[in-house]
Structure 1
Amino acid sequence: MSRVVFINPALSIKERYGILAQAGGTEPPFGLCYLAASVMKDGHFAYIVDAQALNKGCQETAELVLKQQPRYAAITAVSSSIHNAAAIAKKIKESDANII
């Protein structure tokens, strides 16, 4: 049984919506939920770190991932969050090069 952690990197409301930040909101990462359900259906362990909802920075997000001791870490990203996603991936790899 493999351990898979799915990660939704944080992005502030202002970063996400710009001048429309007051009208913006946060949505659950439904895509990650579907992927986690599929992994679990195949008998593997799945965990979601929603750094957006938890308001966690890159270092804190990486620490939450590492606590789960995953074999695989999957990070979702849109154009505006790609730098945060890359920073999280780098921190995870620096701490445990065996995580794929």
Structure 2
Amino acid sequence: MKTLTLESGQLHRLVLTPGRALRCTAGSLWLTLDGEDVTLRQGEQWTAPVRGTALVEAISVQARLQLSARSGWLARLTRHRQPTFGAPLSLKWRL
């Protein structure tokens, strides 16, 4: 889980995937994604409905935002940085 602290008026850009949850843990936040504007107060949560770039701004003196861990196939893919392969394939020929 990633935590982000923003000062009043500070903008931050986030690339989100569907299902990624954002929770305001302190202060108040404004965010916009794909034409949808959302205001979050302390304790409130919002889940990204689509993939896109969101703009987040603190609308209180200071605000703190927690991003949930990525979910879905991309998270599973990036969790394992090196592929795992089985034993070498051996072929037997019968004549």
TM-score by length of 1: 0.23
Higher fraction of strand = 2
Higher fraction of helix = 1
TM-score by length of 2: 0.24
Larger Rg: 2
